Amino acid sequence: MKIISIKTIVSLLIVIALIIAGVTIISHKKTAMQSIPPAKTYGLVVPVNTASISTVVLTLPYLAEVQSDSNVDLASKVTSRVKMIVTSGTNVKRGDLLAELDAGDLLAQKKSLEFKIAEMGNQIKAKQADLKSLQISYKRNTKLLDIQAVSQDKIDTDNANIESMESTIAGMKNNVAALKQNIREIDDNLSYTSIKSPIDGVVSKTFIAEGGIATGGKSLLSLSGGNTKRLLVRVSDKVIPSAVIYQQQNCPVHSLNSTDNGLNEYSCQLQTTVSAGNRVEVKLIVYRGENILLPTNAVLQKNGKQYVLLVEGDKAVAHQVTIIAEGSEGLLVDGIKAGDEYVVAKPDILLKLLTGISIIRANS
């Protein structure tokens, strides 16, 4: 019993010693930590720009379709065999012969009509001679009627014969007029058997070969006239371009007051060797004027709103702005003025600055 008591006392003494040692260590540690100086706070190094008014041109990259108002498809008005046609790639001048169609059938029809007209003319002359005889007889019988040498029935018969002959001659003349109209139509068709170029240009495509049969109303060949083309762009309602920049040409655009798949169409005319139907890369000028241009990284998008971080002392303070125009060159906003200093940085840096971190000017 006496031995157990000594062990217990020894254990208690050991525990007490450990507690005292622990307290002493903690006290020394606390004293050491209190002697450590507080950590220094470092600012973020960021570029700072000063807002200034300058001449601003904003552009957007787009695709434009090349079109040509001088491209011409030439068709045959008659159905006939092709005697001659120029080949694709041929350079032609206005008035040059492009294609020649066989006019044999048309010439034969014309000759037949001319023969009928001549024959009808001879018949009319014969009828006119008969009419003259009837008129002489009528005049003589009228005098005889005065002396009761002929009856009134004879006079009436002569008068009816004259009217009938005049009607016959008038009908024959109408037939001649109709035949002459047919000849005029044939002459018109004959003019289409020799197809000439209406413009200076290049034969871009032929649709039929020599010896083939040209069908009335179907194209024989296509002409591309020169380098004057149109650029057509289709944009949304939010984009209102004033000009197109293409191959160092500044081309003012005008609205066509038409849409395609809900997109507004704009067009401009310029010189280019690019063939019609191709699509080319252009820049649309969407703003031109005196204003403050901001880099894209100067505006922070947050919760559907836009902010510019203006420099106030060693802090960056968010000021809400409204974007009024944007392009590849940057942004125009409403809410800042010339002389304001603003931070230019990536969005994650701008968000850090909102926590109140001091800034260090990278360009100081």
How many H helices and E strands in the chain?
4, 23
> Could you report the average pLDDT of every consecutive run of 10 residues in the chain (364 residues)?
62 78 78 64 84 95 87 84 90 89 91 93 91 85 76 82 90 93 90 86 87 88 80 92 91 89 90 85 95 95 93 92 94 93 94 90 74
Decide: helix, strand or coil at residue 169.
helix
Residues in contact with 353: Cβ distance below 8 Å, sequence separation at least 6, in sequence order: 44, 46, 309, 315, 316, 343, 345, 359
Assigned CATH class of 46-54+291-361: mainly beta
pLDDT at 134: 86
pLDDT at 152: 84
Domains 46-54+291-361 and 103-192 equal at CATH topology level: no
Q: Report angle CA 43, 322, 346 to the nearest 5 degrees.
A: 30
How is domain 103-192 classified at the architecture level of CATH?
Orthogonal Bundle (1.10)
pTM comes to 0.55
DSSP string, 243-269: EEEETTEEEE-EEEEEEETTEEEEEEE
Residues in contact with 277: Cβ distance below 8 Å, sequence separation at least 6, in sequence order: 65, 66, 67
Residues in contact with 176: Cβ distance below 8 Å, sequence separation at least 6, in sequence order: 117, 120, 121, 124
Quote the CA–CA distance of 71 and 226 in Å, as a whole number: 9
pLDDT at 1: 42
Domain boundaries of the chain, sorted by first residue: 1-36, 46-54+291-361, 103-192
pLDDT at 300: 95
Decide: helix, strand or coil at residue 208.
coil
